[in-house]
Each structure stands twice: as C-alpha cells, then as structure tokens.
Structure 1
Amino acid sequence: MGKPKAKRLKAAHHESSDATSDVAASAIADSYNEQIRPLLDAVDRLRHLKVTQEGIQLPTIVVVGDQSSGKSSVLESLAGISLPRGQGICTRVPLVMRLKDDPSAAAGSQPMLQLEYGRGRVVATSERKVADAIDEATAEIAGSGKGISDAPITLVVRKRGVPDLTLVDLPGITRVPVKGQPDNIYDQVSKIIMEYIAPKESIILNVLSATVDFPTCESIRMSQKVDRNGERTLAVVTKSDKAPEGLLDKVTMDDVNIGLGYVCVRNRVGDETYDQARAEEERLFRDHPLLSKIDKSMVGIPVLAQRLMQIQGAIIAKCLPDIVKQINDRPAPSSSRCHRI
C-alpha cells in the first residue's frame, strides 16, 4: 500500500509543479499584455497612419535572408499558418505580419485572418485560403509576373498561442534573375531591404541556413553595412538537422558579429502539424549527439518567439518617447492626425 501512496504523492507533486509553472507562465503573459501590448498597438496604428512617409521611423523587426534560406518556414512556425511557396521569389512585396495572441479563443479554433493593402483595402480570409489571398494581393500590387514592389501588404493574424509580434518580411536576396524576373532584380531587392534595415530603430532578424558558410551570405553583408557590430541583429539558423556538423562552433565563435545572438531551429517537414513539428524540434535538440550540445537558450521556435518579444518590447520602450516628441513637433495637420491614435 505504501508504494502506491508514494506514487500518488509524487504525481501530486508533479501536478503541483505543473500548476505552478502554468501560473508563472500566465503571470508573465499577463504582464507582457499589460505593459507591451498597448505600446505595440500604438506603433501598429502609427504604421497604419503612414507616419514613416513623414520621416518618423518606427521600431520594426525586419526579416531578411538569402533566397531559400528558410525565411518562410520561420515565419510560418511563428504564426502557425502556411504562407506562399514556389519557385523564384515568393515574397515580392514587403509583408507586414501582425501576430496577436487571442487567449479568449477556444483551443484548436481557427485563427482570424485579414489582409490590408492598397488604399484602405481590407480582405478577410481563412487559414486554408491565406496563401492564395496573399498571392492575389501581391499580383494586384506588383503584377502577375515575378517583379517586385515596395508597397506593403499587412497580414493580421489573431490566434490563440501566437507570440505578440509585428514582423516585416522582405523579398529574398537573389543574385541571378530567373526567367521572368527583371535583370536588375538584385538591385531592386537590395534597395527595399536597405530602406527597411538602415534606420537605427530597426531590429534585423537575419535568417541563415545551417547548410552554408555564414560569412558568404548576402544578407549578412547587407546587415553589416548598416549594423557593423551587430548590436541590433539577431540570427535564426534554419535547417539545423540538415547540417549539424560544426553548427555549435558557428553559433559560438560568431565570425559575423551577431550582437543579439543566435537561435537554431528545425524546419517543419511535409505534412507535419505545427505541434508535431515543435515536438520533433524539441526531440532533435535534446537527443542529437551534436545538436544537443548547443545551449537550450539558443534552440527552438519557442525560444525565438520569446527572444523576439523581449527585443521588441525593449526597442519600443526605448524609441517611443522620441517618436511622441517628433509627432508633437510636427505642424498642426500632421500632429492632430497622429494624436488620434
């Protein structure tokens, strides 16, 4: 009889520990929502008001990466939805992704999605149709070919469990045009990227494939132009399971000045659900003979989401007072318009 009692006590202890962890996680989430969410909403409204056209820079997490670096996989994992994929450039316009946690939604319920683009165009869509909706909006803005445009599309994702983040995904960097792309595609993409990453208010999320040498990545070269010491650059390393040899040295020696650190992730494979992909990712970094040696504070999509929220909160808190001052210093028509946020 004693042994079953001990087991019951042990089980009760684990349940108590789990409950304590849940309470702690909930408290952290509540604290974040109370302190950072209003600031993020304010910045999103300012972005919607196009104050950047008046020379006011907003704190922004900008996602850059060479073509086929795994950018789409990272963004899909953060948002928990599928994005357009295919040959050549998939992201042909800046895609502003506004992720909003919806704690009131039932577990497993469908997310609420809408696209905003053009002159006040708002299109509600679904998880099943969002990739097609983005393709259609892109074609409307940048044409049906493979050309690009600097006019953004905003994708609002309200879903239970997503991190509260606003990210700007930019076209992937390509040196050699594919059929249908303009000859100066590299110059066009570079111009858009540099406009977004140059302001000191921008945080650069540099997406690097574990299968390549980091110093050869064009996205690294571009970010070093505007952030030589990497003080506002965070790197996410994709395809970790495809090239585990030497990855620990790559992310600890840091030959390319990534000041905000590295996070290594595993890309979702085939028809895996996002929950299955995260379970496989956790198993990979726990059990793999090489990847298990990487510090746990540097691996996994959940770690990446947490790091991005922390960085985003810090940059908004740092920049917002100056943004408010700039708005207040504007002539009456602009300032009165912005004061309505």
Structure 2
Amino acid sequence: MEALIPVINKLQDVFNTVGSDAIQLPQIIVLGTQSSGKSSVIESIVGRSFLPRGTGIVTRRPLILQLIYCPKDDKEHRSALDATVDIEEWGTFLHAKGKIFKNFTEICKEIENETDRIAGINKGVCPEPINLKIYSTKVVNLTLVDLPGITKVPVGDQPEDIEQQIRELVLKYIANPNSIILAVVTANTDMATSESLKIAKDVDPDGRRTLAVVTKLDLMDAGTDAIDILCGRVIPVKLGIIGVVNRSQQDIMNHKTIKDALKDEASYLQSKYPTLATRNGTPYLAKTLNRLLMHHIRDCLPDLKTRVNLMMSQFQSLLYSYGEDISDKSKTLLQIITKFASAYCATIEGTARNIETTELCGGARICYIFHETFGRTLDSIHPLAGLTRMDILTAIRNANGPRPALFVPEVSFELLVKRQIRRLEEPSLRCVELIHEEMQRIIQHCGSEVQQEMLRFPKLYERIVDVVTILLRRRLPTTNIMVENLVAIELAYINTKHPDFYKEIAVVPSMIKSGNTNRPERPKSMYVKSSPKEHNDTVQSRAQVQDQVDFFNYLFHILPGTSYNEFVSAVQVYSLLFSTFSKLVFLLHFAYVLNF
C-alpha cells in the first residue's frame, strides 16, 4: 500500500501539467485561518523550514506538497547525473523542470518568486497551484495541499472581496469527495467558533473525512488544559483530533531548529498530557496522515481505476480518429489544402460526394441566381418606366436649343436611352452580391468534406476559411467595377445598326405614309401658358415639336398595347445584349476566382 501514494503523485503531476481536473484525486487539504499555525505544522512534518513567512497573507497560491521517502539506496529517485546520490534531501518544482534545489532557503525564495510571478506583488490570491516535491530520508510518503489562510478583513493592497476569493478557493479543494480535510485550529481560542471547522462542516457535515489539528497547546491560559478538546468531548471529529506544539515567532527569530522544537514538543506533552502524549505530537500526526491517506486511496481506488480506464478509452478513440502520425508536415499541409480546394470546386460543379437534397447549394444555386433571380429582375424592369411624354418633349427641346428643329435630334434619343440603360446597373451589382454570399456559404459546406482534417487540425481549418473568405471579399470590389464598366460600355455607344432596331425603324416610313399615326391627345400640362402676343408666334413651333414627338413614338413603336410605346425596342434590345453579355462575363470572372 505504501506504493499507492507515489502513483497518485504521478497522476497529480500529469493533471497539473495538462491543466485538467477531470479526475478528483485523493489528497490532504490543509485548512486554517491566518496565524493558526498551518505553516508550522507542515514544516514540522517535513522537518525543515522552507515556507515563506511574514505578516498578512503569505500563502497566496495553493501549494501542492509531495513528500517522498527516499532512502540512501533508492535508485529510482537518486541519480549521479542529478548529483543526488549522496545528499539526504532536496526539492524540485514542476514549473522548473530539471532544476534541483538542495538548499531549503532557495526553495522558500522560489515559492515567493513564483507566487509573485502569477499572483502579482500585491496581496491578492491566485487559484493556480505550485507543485513542490521534497525527497528526504526523514519523511513519510504524503501529499499535502497548503491553502491561503482564511481572513475576514482586507489589509493593505488586498481587494475588498479577499474573503470571498479565499473562501471560493478553499471550497473548490475541500469539496472534492476524495480529499481529507486537515482543519487547523488554535488551542487558545474557542474551538466552537473555529472558522476552519465551520467551512469543513459545510462540505463534510458528518465529519467522515475531517481531521482536526490543535496547535499552540503551550499557549493556553494558566489553569486550563485541552484534554476535553483532544478527547473529542467539545466537538467530535471522526478521523480524530491531534494536538501539536509549534515554534513561536521568537523561536523562529532565534533560529531554533525543528529538531529541537520536536524534542521540546515531546517533553511538553509528556509532562502536561502524559496519558495522551503517544497519540499527539507532530511525529504521530505525520504517521496518522500517511495511514489515513493510504487507506483513503485504497477506498477510492476502484472508482478511480474505473474512471481512468474510461477516460483512456475515450481519448484512445479520439487519438485513433486523428489518424497516423505526421512525418512530413509540408506534404500533409499541401494535401489538406488541395482536398479543401477540390471539395470547393466539386460543390460548384455538382460532383461532390455528399449532394444536398433539401435545398440548392453551390453551383446549382449560382445557376439559379443567374437564370432565375437575376433574369426575372431584368425582365421585370419595364423599358419605359419613369419615362413620360413630358420627358421626351423636354429632351427634344433642350437638344434643339434656340433653333426650331426640322428633324428629331439624335442626342435626345441617346440621352433618354442611356438613362434607361443605367437602371440595369443596380440589379447587376445585387447579383454580384448574391453570388458572393453563396460562395462564402460553400466554404462552410466544404467543412463536411474535410471533417476528419477539420477535427484534427481545427486551427488550420479556421485559417483556410479566413484566407478564402478574405480572398472572396478582396475580389468583390473588382467584380463590381467590372459590372460598372460593362454598363459604362453600353452607355458609351448606342448601336442603331442592330438588326432588331433597324427592322423596327424600317416600318416607320410606311406607317407615316399610310397616316396611321394614332396621334395621342396632347396633354394640356405639356405647354406653358403664353400671352396673346406670343400665341401666334408659338402655335407653329408647338406644331413642329408635336410632330417630332409623334415621329419619336413611331421610331420606337414595338410593343403594341403599352401606354406610350416609346423606346421599347431600343431598350429591350440593349437589355437583352447586356443581360447575355454580363452573365457571360460573370461566369468567366467567377471561374477565374475559383481557380485562385
């Protein structure tokens, strides 16, 4: 059974290294208020002074102390390489791997430095533990956890909630059902008001895993003794109550050794409590803790073994799912990126292994956006929307300037046609945005294709997604500029020689010759009221302008039944050309993007 404690110590080191507390290991938690003698008890068990001392809170981080009995012939822990063959005791820290501390003053300094490094130089506490192993020929195998002393009032730079912080830290450790609570109380105070016993009772109401240590037996008031306390008549504790005598502050200042203090303790107990001397004192406390810990480990071992085996099985399965070990990182990286790119292209081309059956995705949705969404949007744009007779009249008159026109000015035709063609730009840009959104959705869809690699290398997958997303976002402005340029190209040159356009113009002379003009009634609002003096001068010019408007109507008369029949042929022709050409350019552009 003696070998159980080192095994638990190894597990403790592993869990502290990986930062996991999935399994609650058996351990002894030292609990007490400030200046209750916790540090003195621990140092007496070890036999050396190595804990920081001072006023206020000195222990500001949990100290996991592993005592390892190491006889002279112990080849497992002693090594010529470490120069530990001939020394009696030394210490090592988990955070300072490979470094041997042979001087206990250096161990004390290292605890202070490591505490300040993590918890800061003020008096705040930190839950991250310090792991210290002490190898000695004079100790018993034991694992202790020294916690910050319980305090009520913040002092100095301590935060206002220091009491709550320490209480939560203490409860975190003693709530472990596999832990033994070592509650330290002082003999010169009322045990019934002990804060450490009160907190221990909160998590262990039956006291089945609580051991009380009564310190400062030699400081009780004259004429009193601790017999009732040590016999459990005041507050019963199932694991027992053990009294000890600590070194006083004056003894420490006088450099009184722990060896001498243990001799004085034995003499005091023999003289003051002769019937209880053999069941009290620091040596008896160390042996009792060793025995309790071994028995506690034995009791917890079946459940502990089951949980460890279960976790091993789970992590073995997880490790197996990651695949074989990687020998060539560059090759593996290239394979994963290539697989992602192939999955991306396959989703667009419709050759992916996992074809979606509930909704359109990838290339199918891009096709739907081009031919359905974008196509319907273009078809819904009426070529003559927003174009009135007044607009035509105003454009003709502005194109003529101060001169009365004999023929329809071509510049007015181009002006109005360009205004209508410009309406195609907004839905085209919206189409680009929809395609961009779908191409981003494809990135997430590819995650299922590379699921195994995604689980094994989550950060690599996140980086791939970021790079592709940034690339698509970077190409979006360029695509928008291309669409705007396409519209600008159409606006720059009006092709009146287009066959559809020319065919409709050919019927205009015959319509005029036959007199089938269907001249609409002139709206009164079209003309500006004039004075009688100006009336005769403007009648003729109005007639000329109206003839030009009528000719304009015949010139673009294509869709019978519309309200005005203006510009239908021209705008529809250009709409068709623009739609076909823009779709082709979109496809070519996105094909270029996909082959980035």
Normalising by the smaller structure, the TM-score range is 0.7 to 0.9
Q: For the residues of structure 1 that align with 2:317 and 2:163, how far apart are their CA atoms?
A: 40
Of 222, 241, 255, the match for 2:199? 222
Greater Rg by CA: 2
Give how far 1:322 is off.
Answer: 1.0
State whether residues 240 and 264 of structure 1, in contact with CA within 8 Å, keep that contact through their aligned partners in structure 2: yes
Aligned: 1:252 with 2:231: yes
1:330 corresponds in structure 2 to 311
Of 253, 258, 261, the match for 2:240? 261
Give how far 1:336 is off.
Answer: 8.6
The amino acid across from 1:124 in the alignment is: I
2:267 corresponds in structure 1 to 283
Q: For the residues of structure 2 that align with 1:187 and 1:122, how far apart are their CA atoms?
A: 37
Of 90, 94, 102, the match for 2:70? 102
State whether residues 62 and 130 of structure 2, in contact with CA within 8 Å, keep that contact through their aligned partners in structure 1: yes
Aligned: 1:74 with 2:41: yes
| 1:80–1:200 CA distance, 2 compared to 1 (3 A) | same
Aligned: 1:166 with 2:143: yes
| 1:336–1:316 CA distance, 2 compared to 1 (3 A) | farther
Give how far 1:123 is off.
Answer: 4.4
Identity %: 36
Give how far 1:197 is off.
Answer: 0.6
Q: For the residues of structure 1 that align with 2:110 and 2:7, how far apart are their CA atoms?
A: 27
The amino acid across from 1:258 in the alignment is: V
Q: For the residues of structure 1 that align with 2:94 and 2:314, how far apart are their CA atoms?
A: 25
Equivalent positions of 1:167-182 (< 5 A) are 167-182=144-159
1:3 corresponds in structure 2 to none
Deviations along 1:129-159, one digit per CA (max 9) or x if unpaired, are 2111100011111111111111000111111
State whether residues 2 and 141 of structure 2, in contact with CA within 8 Å, keep that contact through their aligned partners in structure 1: no
1:113 corresponds in structure 2 to 91
| 1:193–1:254 CA distance, 2 compared to 1 (3 A) | farther
Give how far 1:246 is off.
Answer: 3.0
Q: For the residues of structure 1 that align with 2:259 and 2:48, how far apart are their CA atoms?
A: 12
Q: For the residues of structure 1 that align with 2:131 and 2:120, how far apart are their CA atoms?
A: 18
Of 19, 22, 29, the match for 1:62? 29
| 1:179–1:216 CA distance, 2 compared to 1 (3 A) | same
| 1:109–1:141 CA distance, 2 compared to 1 (3 A) | same
1:300 corresponds in structure 2 to 281
State whether residues 163 and 309 of structure 1, in contact with CA within 8 Å, keep that contact through their aligned partners in structure 2: yes
Q: Secondary structure at the match of 1:329?
A: helix
5+ residue gaps, structure 2, are 74-83, 319-596
Equivalent positions of 1:192-211 (< 5 A) are 192-211=169-188
Whose helix fraction is larger, Structure 1's or Structure 2's?
A: 2
Aligned: 1:36 with 2:5: no
Give how far 1:311 is off.
Answer: 0.1
Q: For the residues of structure 2 that align with 1:72 and 1:303, how far apart are their CA atoms?
A: 17
Whose strand fraction is larger, Structure 1's or Structure 2's?
A: 1
1:91 corresponds in structure 2 to 59
Deviations along 1:71-95, one digit per CA (max 9) or x if unpaired, are 0000001112221000111110000
The answer to which of 274-283 and 44-53 deviates more is 44-53
| 1:195–1:172 CA distance, 2 compared to 1 (3 A) | same
State whether residues 69 and 139 of structure 2, in contact with CA within 8 Å, keep that contact through their aligned partners in structure 1: yes
Q: For the residues of structure 2 that align with 1:135 and 1:146, how far apart are their CA atoms?
A: 12
State whether residues 211 and 242 of structure 1, in contact with CA within 8 Å, keep that contact through their aligned partners in structure 2: yes
Q: Secondary structure at the match of 1:292?
A: coil
Give how far 1:331 is off.
Answer: 6.0
Q: For the residues of structure 2 that align with 1:335 and 1:75, how far apart are their CA atoms?
A: 40
1:124 corresponds in structure 2 to 100
Q: For the residues of structure 2 that align with 1:335 and 1:292, how far apart are their CA atoms?
A: 58
5+ residue gaps, structure 1, are 1-34
The amino acid across from 1:99 in the alignment is: L
2:12 corresponds in structure 1 to 47
Q: Secondary structure at the match of 1:205?
A: strand
Give how far 1:324 is off.
Answer: 1.3
State whether residues 6 and 68 of structure 2, in contact with CA within 8 Å, keep that contact through their aligned partners in structure 1: no
TM-score (norm 2): 0.47
RMSD between superposed Cα atoms in Å: 2.2
Of 129, 134, 159, the match for 1:152? 129
Q: For the residues of structure 1 that align with 2:150 and 2:98, how far apart are their CA atoms?
A: 29
1:313 corresponds in structure 2 to 294
Q: Secondary structure at the match of 1:318?
A: helix
Give how far 1:53 is off.
Answer: 2.6
State whether residues 100 and 159 of structure 1, in contact with CA within 8 Å, keep that contact through their aligned partners in structure 2: yes
Give how far 1:253 is off.
Answer: 4.0
Give how far 1:54 is off.
Answer: 4.8
Q: Secondary structure at the match of 1:263?
A: strand
State whether residues 228 and 257 of structure 1, in contact with CA within 8 Å, keep that contact through their aligned partners in structure 2: no
State whether residues 116 and 123 of structure 1, in contact with CA within 8 Å, keep that contact through their aligned partners in structure 2: no
State whether residues 228 and 234 of structure 2, in contact with CA within 8 Å, keep that contact through their aligned partners in structure 1: no
Q: Secondary structure at the match of 2:6?
A: helix
Give how far 1:174 is off.
Answer: 0.2
Greater relative CO (CA pairs within 8 A, separation 6+): 1
Count of aligned residue pairs for this structure pair: 296
1:12 corresponds in structure 2 to none
Q: Secondary structure at the match of 2:20?
A: helix
| 1:335–1:256 CA distance, 2 compared to 1 (3 A) | farther
Equivalent positions of 1:226-245 (< 5 A) are 226-243=203-220, 245=224
| 1:164–1:253 CA distance, 2 compared to 1 (3 A) | closer
Deviations along 1:175-232, one digit per CA (max 9) or x if unpaired, are 1111111111111111111111112111000111111111111111100001112111
Give how far 1:335 is off.
Answer: 5.9
2:372 corresponds in structure 1 to none
State whether residues 327 and 335 of structure 1, in contact with CA within 8 Å, keep that contact through their aligned partners in structure 2: no
Structure 1's consecutive aligned runs of 4 or more residues displaced over 6 angstroms after TM superposition are: none
Give how far 1:262 is off.
Answer: 0.9
State whether residues 47 and 259 of structure 2, in contact with CA within 8 Å, keep that contact through their aligned partners in structure 1: no
